[in-house]
Amino acid sequence: MKTLDQKALTIDNGWLDNATICCSSHYNQRPLVDDISLLVIHNISLPPGQFGGGYINDLFLGRLDCQADPFFAQLEGLRVSAHCMISRAGIITQYVSFEDRAWHAGISTYNGRANCNDFSIGIELEGTDTTLYTSAQYEALARVTKVLCRHYRRLTPQTIVGHSDIAPGRKTDPGDAFDWSHYGAMLE
C-alpha cells in the first residue's frame, strides 16, 4: 500500500503514483477513455457529520456493515465508488483507475450530456456541506487536479464542477462550506 507524500504526483495507467490504493469492484469500463472531460467534486461522511472510522472505505469497497449504525440501513445493497477520496488530513485514497468509470455521479447531466460517469472523474472530500474543509484537503485536491489536467488534456479549471451542478435538486455537495475561489486560486 502506497501513501501520499509531498513529492509531485504522476499518473501511471490511470493510477496516481504515491497515493493509497484500495481497489474497489464498483466500477466498469468507460465508453471512451479519450472522453475524460469533467471533474466532479463531492463530499462524504459516514455516519453523516462524523469523520474517520473507515466507513467510507468500507462503502466504496462493498463491505460496509449496515448494522454498524442506524443510518447505514438505507445504504444496504448500494454499489457506489469514487475515483479518489481525500481525508480531513489530506490523505488521498484511490479506489478506481481514472481510465475506468467509477460510480459517483448517479443520474446527472453536464452541458446537455447525460450519464456524467461516462466522461468524468469523481473526487470525494471527507466532509459535509456545512463543515469547513481543511487546508490539507485543499492542498491535496489542488495537487490531484493539476496532475489530472496535465494528463487528461480535456480537463481544465473550467470543467470542474460540484455534484450539485450536475444533479441539481438531487445533490447539494460539496456545499456552501467549499471555497471555490480559494481552490481556483490554488490551480493558477
Catalytic residues: 124
Beta-bridged to residue 11, according to DSSP, are 16
32-to-35, 92, 100, 101, 120 alpha-carbon distances in Å: 5, 25, 9, 10, 11
Cis peptide before 157 (omega within 30 of 0): no
